[in-house]
Amino acid sequence: MSKKISFVVPIYNEVDAFDDFYRKMLAPELAKLKYDYELILVDDGSKDGSLELVQGIAEADKRVKVLRFSRNFGKEVALTAGMREAVGDAIMTMDADGQQPPELIPKFIEKWEQGAEIVIGVRGRFEKHGLVAKIGSKMFYKILGAMGVKDTVPGSTDFRLIDRCVADEYNRLTEHGRITRGLMDWMGFRKEYIDYVYGNRLAGKPSYNFKKLFGLAIDSFISLSTTPLLVFGVIGLFITFASLVLGIFVIIEQFMLGDPIGLKWTGPTCLSIFVAFLVGLVLISQAVSALYISHIHAETQGRPLYIIDRKQSRNLHEGKAPKTTTK
Ligand code: UDP
Ligand code: MG
């Protein structure tokens, strides 16, 4: 049986951009592929006619599948939904606005054929960015690195190809506040990188503004690490340790040796040291209970991740997508 590649494209209000992108850029590349393929278009609750456009494409070509969300759930969830629907031996994700060049698809596939399990598109290192974006993304990776997530190459994007085995593992993750690339980097597997230049949008406006990106960054910090909680625990440890040492010093110096250095510790000073000691203990116990809460939080979020509008979707596998196919 010949291998199949699934392409997953999240679409939110992209009627103008996607029309151009599909006809002029993506379809010609797909036509050249030596593999069988499917194109999964995830409509993330668009309100601008994108749905009708993609439904039209799916009517004409059975390899094109449309998954329609009942409302806007966000790109990260759309990518997840598309990957769960995909049946290919490899799955490639890309944006709908033409900023990620489909001419590179053969390069991604080539790396996969050579054994890479995740092929990641890295935004051109010499691109011009706005100052805020530059500093913001630098800080993001710095903090991520400081929190122990070292495996993220700056500039990594969702323009990537993953092997079926990675997808199977990824599909078992159920957390909600997710950022696809962060979770995948956390998963490991054999990675390869391809540099590309992020083009201009074909039409429309980016829907990720500063507020959304900031929220996404917070989400990934929280979901990938418990370090923020531990910071306060460490501060507590430090305070407890320092006040303990100081307290012992006071007891020995003043009360046992009779204040040979002449420091004349007063009652309020001793009390302050004791209070500092207690504050340290409180911070430590807070960090410990916060850790428990974070675990409970992770375990209890049992809500469905998204709701699919089945009437509006097209050519789905209706949950019959195979769990594993060997490469
Ligand atoms: N997108 C989505 N849901 C959203 C926002 C965006 O599916 O809520 C899609 C969008 O249609 C595009 C991709 O995610 O295909 C990237 O979005 P955008 O171009 O706005 O982001 P940027 O280029 O700034 O990363
Ligand atoms: Mg874009």
Q: Give the mean pLDDT of the chain.
A: 83
Residue ranges per domain, the chain?
4-211, 227-300
Could you tell me which of 80, 121, 68 has the C-alpha nearest to residue 99?
121
Which atom of ligand 1 approaches the CA of 198 most closely? 23
Query: 318: pLDDT confidence band, cut at 50, 70 and 90?
Result: low
Using DSSP, state whether 307 is helix, strand or coil: coil
Return the best residue to mutate from 12, 159, 213 for the ligand 1 pocket (most ligand atoms within 8 A of CB): 12
Q: How far is the CA of 66 from the centre of ligand 1 (A)?
A: 17
| Residue of 325 and 79 predicted with greater confidence | 79
Atom of ligand 1 nearest to the CA of 45: 3
Straight-line distance from the first to the last Cα atom of the chain, in angstroms, rounded to the nearest whole number: 11
- Lining residues, ligand 1, CB within 6 Å: 10-12, 14, 44, 72, 74-75, 78, 95-97, 99, 206-208
Q: Name residues whose C-beta falls within 8 Å of residue 65's C-beta, 6 or more positions apart in sequence.
A: 38, 39, 40, 41, 58, 85, 313, 314, 315, 316
| The pTM of the whole model exceeds 0.75 | no
Q: Is 98 left (phi over 0), alpha (psi -120 to 50) or beta?
A: left
What pLDDT, on the 0 to 100 scale, is given for residue 177? 66
Architecture of domain 4-211: Alpha-Beta Complex (3.90)
- Ligand 1: nearest atom to the Cα of 157: 25
Span from the CA of 75 to the centroid of ligand 1 (angstroms): 6
At 91, give phi and psi (nearest 5°): -125, 130
Report pLDDT for 53: 92
pLDDT in tens, 249-277: 999 998 899 888 888 888 899 999 999 99
120 CA distance to ligand 2 middle (Å)? 17
